[in-house]
Amino acid sequence: MVREVDKIKLRRWRRRGFYSETVLVKRLQENGYNAVRIPVSNPSLSPLPDIMARKGSHTYAFEVKNASYYAYFPKKQINKLFRFLNELMPGDKKHKHAVVAAHLGKKWLFKEISWINWEKDKLPDKVRIVKRDRGNFTL
């Protein structure tokens, strides 16, 4: 039986993720991207990112985490980004980008994951973003 306290914590945790995703969509739109939050991107087997964006001929799939100091992105979630881009988005791979985004307080950090690692099945077990890191992707 699930306790009432556990339900409250779960709701709070989900709201935090929803908030970060909405903030990122607004930020992307302010920077000239066409962006949408994909509301069914909950933990499922479907290859759907948290956010999909386009700018010019480029397509971006974002996985978003809200944390205070560091965020982990499991291999399974990163693989879903590449599956989404590969299976559902037409076009050349050089125009498709898998990006993990960490919302760390007021700071955002982004890391683009390489297609080469995915194609050679060499994705790390998890990607970690720490607040003191520098990302390799900017809006």
Q: What is the pLDDT of residue 19?
A: 85
Q: What is the pLDDT of residue 135?
A: 87
Q: What is the pLDDT of residue 139?
A: 83
Paired residues of 110 in beta bridges: 101
Q: What is the pLDDT of residue 12?
A: 57
Q: What is the pLDDT of residue 47?
A: 86
Q: What is the pLDDT of residue 18?
A: 80
Q: What is the 3-state secondary structure (H, E, C) of 38-99?
A: CCCCCCCCCCCCCEEEEECCEEEEEEEEEECCEEEEEHHHHHHHHHHHHHHCCCCHHHEEEE
Which class does domain 4-130 fall in? alpha beta
Q: Over its length of 139 residues, how does the chain's per-residue pLDDT go in tens digits? A: 556 667 666 555 555 568 889 999 999 999 999 999 998 745 667 889 999 999 999 999 999 999 999 999 999 999 999 999 999 999 899 999 999 999 998 899 999 999 999 999 999 999 999 999 988 888 8
Domain extents for the chain?
4-130
Task: Give the span between the Cα atoms of 62 and 50, in whole angstroms.
Answer: 6
